[in-house]
Chain A
């Protein structure tokens, strides 16, 4: 069983991360991964850069908590979450979630669950460079709705709390 979180400025290599996650375990029959990358458009504007800030300590703890929740819900054998911080450019990789399991269904579901959880519950903030300057990215109600599909009430984008 391997469950690991890394918050880093450096880029990552999917093949190397998956090899490390599988770790020669012959019981693994499925590997599912998601990579989020920096787009050059958001809210109708050209985006030239993306800067990521986080809350050191709380970030790692909140993602380990998500991994525990994923292990409780799904029959998975390992998971790796990498989230980059600092200054990124369009095309750069931002986030990796990779999950292993015996059969594909559990790793597909756990991977999506972890991404939905990460979007609204981990203390990261994005600031994008646009032609007029810089702006903080707004939280999306659709991300809260994505987590609600899993029975978790998220109010991240709400103004009332």
Chain B
């Protein structure tokens, strides 16, 4: 299925992209994260398992077991630090 993936803050800097459209067979966020990590060093540096990474689907924070849907906007980002 086709989805848009957005990256923010340190994740964006590691990967070197703020967003990309991808065609994936991953069914949920955890699988997608692993698929991206396997793409290479820039992705694994941004998303590796030891890092605290938050995930959202269609701009709502979700846990890693949440299933992907066609045309979803997925986001990966570090813990937030506003205020």
Within 8 A of B (CB), among A91-126: 94-95, 115, 118-126
Within 8 A of B (CB), among A22-66: 36, 52-55, 57-58, 61
Could you tell me the distance between the alpha carbons of A157 and B8 in the complex, rounded to whole angstroms? 16
Q: Are A55 and B52 in contact (CB under 8 A)?
A: no
Q: Are B59 and A124 in contact (CB under 8 A)?
A: no
**Cβ-based interface call for A137 (8 A):** yes
- Size bracket of the B interface: 10 to 19
Q: Hey, what's the 0/1 contact readout for A129-161 against B, CB within 8 Å counting as 1?
A: 000000011110001000000000000111101
Q: Are A124 and B80 in contact (CB under 8 A)?
A: yes
Q: Given A55-B75, A159-B52 in contact, is the A125-B59 Cβ separation under 8 Å?
A: no
Q: Are B77 and A124 in contact (CB under 8 A)?
A: no
Which B residues have a C-beta under 8 Å from some C-beta of A? 6, 8-10, 50, 52, 54, 56, 59-60, 63, 75, 77-83
17 further interface pairs, Cβ-Cβ under 8 Å (given A55-B59, A126-B81): A54-B82, A55-B56, A58-B59, A83-B83, A115-B83, A118-B83, A119-B80, A119-B82, A122-B82, A123-B8, A124-B83, A125-B77, A125-B81, A136-B10, A143-B83, A157-B79, A159-B52
